[in-house]
């Protein structure tokens, strides 16, 4: 049985994946665990970048055009 970290490492050795793709692939084989992503959020107006596929932090908010953006967050949760 592999650890979650080992599974992530093997997936990333196979290719490049969006956070959504990683979440979908990791949610199946990990018994008792679930991969969760929280999108980047604008600190000024609260806009959430839910449809963004890149793992990097956006440069500015499309609504208020401010550059104060909270980075996306990733977690492995117990079910």
What's the confidence (pLDDT) of residue 28?
A: 57
Question: What values do phi and psi take at 77, rounded to 5?
Answer: -110, 145
pTM above 0.85, yes or no: no
Which string of b and e fits 4-16 if b means at least 16 CB within 10 Å?
eeebbeeeeeeee
**Between residues 28 and 58, the one the model is more confident about:** 58
Q: Which domain holds residue 50?
A: 4-78
Angle at 69 between CA 67 and CA 72, to 5 degrees: 150
Task: Return the structure tokens found at 2.
Answer: 């592999």
By the 10 Å C-beta count (0-12 exposed, 13-18 middle, 19+ buried), 40 is classed as buried
Tens digits of residue pLDDT in 40-71: 999 999 999 998 877 778 999 999 999 999 98
């Amino acid at each position: 049985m592999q650890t979650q970290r080992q599974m992530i490492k093997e997936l990333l050795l196979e290719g490049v994946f969006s956070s959504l793709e990683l979440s979908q692939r990791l949610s199946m084989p990990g018994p008792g665990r679930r991969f969760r992503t929280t999108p980047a959020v604008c600190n000024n107006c609260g806009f959430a970048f839910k449809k963004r596929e890149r793992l990097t932090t956006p440069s500015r908010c499309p609504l208020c055009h401010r550059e104060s953006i909270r980075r996306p967050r990733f977690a492995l949760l117990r079910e």
